[in-house]
């Protein structure tokens, strides 16, 4: 079983061009780079990024939760009349609310990013691919997955070679 065919490129511009071309013929296209290449995710057809929404929700849960806790403890569970001041003394509840809004949002941003990225993952077929260890160093890879409906081991390899890569390798499942 084949997981994908990988084409290796020397630079980000070559990869970006290749991705734009490959996207015209194939749908299940992936790209791998040693650093974030601007415009690459968009070229791959990524339109929705849910990280900001998850972060917002995390912040609201964190801030809302601690405000509720303060209100509950000060108004319902253990009210103390301190010089006739209001029990729900909201301005003084703000500092913990602020801190936990940040904490909730930060935790959500981090774990949301991991979750959406499918991490952590102990193993992945790509790690068996020769030279793929260079994807975290100086090489750029374009992958066409075997799940693509137009995928054909021979024809897709021919197609990838036409994009002028350094080499094309097969990634076993």
* H or E element, residue 55: helix 51-71
The smaller minimum CB distance to another protein, of residues 76 and 154, is found at 76
The smaller minimum CB distance to another protein, of residues 118 and 154, is found at 118
Residues 106, 56: contact at Cβ < 8 Å?
no
For the chain, give the number of residues. Answer: 173
The smaller minimum CB distance to another protein, of residues 104 and 151, is found at 104
Within 50-79, the residues that bind another protein by CB under 8 A are 51-52, 55, 66, 69-70, 73-74, 77-78
Picking from 157, 136, 135, the residue whose alpha carbon sits closest to that of residue 146 is 157
Residues 172, 3: contact at Cβ < 8 Å?
yes
Q: Choose which of 23, 128, 136, 172 interacts with another protein (CB under 8 A).
A: 136
Q: How many CB atoms lie within 10 A of CB 93?
A: 16
CA distance 87 to 84: 8
Binding-site size, another protein (CB under 8 A): 62
Site residues for another protein per CB under 8 A: 12, 19, 30-37, 40-41, 43-44, 46, 49, 51-52, 55, 66, 69-70, 73-74, 77-78, 89, 92-93, 95-96, 98-100, 102-103, 105-107, 109-110, 112-114, 116-117, 119-124, 126-127, 131-138
């Amino acid at each position: 079983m084949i997981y994908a065919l990988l084409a290796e490129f020397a630079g980000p511009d070559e990869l970006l061009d290749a991705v734009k071309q490959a996207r015209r013929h194939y749908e299940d296209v992936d790209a791998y780079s040693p650093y974030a290449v601007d415009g690459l995710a968009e070229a791959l057809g990524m339109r929705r990024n849910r990280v900001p929404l998850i972060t917002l929700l995390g912040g609201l849960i964190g801030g809302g939760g601690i405000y509720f806790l303060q209100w509950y403890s000060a108004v319902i569970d253990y009210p103390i009349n301190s010089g006739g001041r209001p029990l729900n003394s909201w301005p003084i509840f703000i500092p913990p609310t602020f801190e936990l809004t940040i904490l909730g949002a930060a935790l959500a941003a981090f774990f949301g990013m991991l979750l959406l990225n499918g991490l952590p993952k102990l193993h992945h077929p790509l790690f068996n691919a020769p030279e793929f260890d260079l994807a975290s160093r100086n090489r750029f890879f374009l992958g066409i997955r075997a799940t693509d409906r137009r995928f054909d081991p021979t024809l897709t390899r021919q197609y990838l070679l036409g994009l002028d890569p350094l080499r094309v390798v097969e990634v076993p499942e």
